[in-house]
A and B are shown apart, each in its own frame.
Chain A
Amino acid sequence: MTYDVRPLNKSFKDGLQYVWDSTSLKVAEECYQKYYYKMIEGWDNPRKGHHLRFGMHYATALEHFHKHLALGMDRDEATEAVVLEALIDTWDRQGPEDTGAPWESGDPNKNRPNLIRSIIWYLDHFSDDPVSTVILADGKPAVEHSFTLEVNDGIYFAGHLDRLGEYSSKPYVTDNKTTGTTLSQHYFNQFSPDMQMSMYTFAGKAIFHIPVAGVMIDAAQIAVGFTRFERGFTFRTESQLNEWYDDTMYLIQDVRRATRERHFPKRLSACGNYGGCEFRAVCSRSPEVRKNFLEADFKQGWVWDPLQRR
């Protein structure tokens, strides 16, 4: 028996998700009902899309910067290359004939000028960075690595590692985060335990066959008048990763069972997380009218697909 899944998502086979990335795992971990709305029915909140877009352009610019440097470009040239790339990628055209217009995010913080500012300020802030890009055995820099990894009997992990960096003789997966909140130890505490950081460490070890110690997180606080940076680390021991793997496999099998049974219980304790779940207003309605509220506030179209390459 197969189930009604939006047709474009290649991470599903026979109606069940078999390719998992940290985003879809995190959604499932938060709430099965949210997983149903987002991953199976493909409902997306258009008002939140700009956070994703800002973060992707920002991470891409920094990732490409390190790639240019590792391939021999000088700092100034590499800066100009990634700034121009970000400016072009945020110049929106509707078609080849369209002259285009700058991306308007509608957000006073995460917008196009602040994206460019954040890229340039980051590169200056970390201009004397002691972290070097790991060079792999084949001579290539360990940057921009999308992976699909079979882990267990037809289940795959997928994702994208920005870069492997070496700091104090230890290799780390590096990750860039953007946030509106003040950067403090409290901010970095959220990454342990954390699905994404465990997945990155696990994948870094499995793909590159080197003893990745954890993830080095360069966080950027984006405000109207400034971008501030802090670096934090999150570590994973071998036994922590083994425990995470077992827990994750259990979660995946349970979500697949829930999908087969078409029963997606709400996890009520998660409704208030991070300022409130985006579907809270929908779930608070009576089941027979929820679809109307979904259609009013969400768009059903593009679905997050772990197999989609950046």
Chain B
Amino acid sequence: MSDLTELFARDPLQYEKQDLQQIIEEMRKKRGQFVLGNAKAGSLKPPASEKAKAVSSLKLDLDL
């Protein structure tokens, strides 16, 4: 299963039917969250907490 960012980065002429359906489904889920009051639900940017998690998971030891 691809995530939305990855799907948007792919040539749509190469999509399988389920890729398109996944985009629609994910967007509908985001709308559902927006209707429930999450005004950032439709953003494709990962939340800051997820970004921080991703950065820390890299375990970089740059030793600059």
Contact = CB atoms under 8 A, between A and B. Distances in A.
A125 B31 CA distance: 9
Contacts of A99: 11
Interface of B, helix, strand, loop or mixed by DSSP:
helix
Q: For chain B, which range describes its interface: under 10, 10 to 19, 20 to 34, or 35 or more residues?
A: 20 to 34
Interface string B10-31: 0111010100110110011011
Nearest to B31: A121
Contact of B11 (A91, A121, A125): A91
A226 interface: yes
Contacts of B9: 102
Contacts of B17: 80
Interface string A102-135: 1000000000111011001100110000000000
Given A79-B24, A84-B15, A117-B27, A226 B42 contact: yes
A113 B11 CA distance: 14
Interface string A278-292: 000000000000000
Contact of A84 (B12, B40, B42, B44): B12
Interface of A, helix, strand, loop or mixed by DSSP:
helix
Given A121-B31, A226-B40, 13 more contacts: A84-B15, A87-B12, A102-B8, A102-B9, A112-B8, A114-B44, A116-B23, A116-B27, A117-B30, A120-B27, A224-B42, A225-B34, A226-B41
Interface of A: 79-80, 83-84, 87-88, 91, 99-100, 102, 112-114, 116-117, 120-121, 124-125, 223-227
Closest 5 CB pairs of A and B: A225-B40, A87-B12, A225-B43, A120-B27, A113-B44
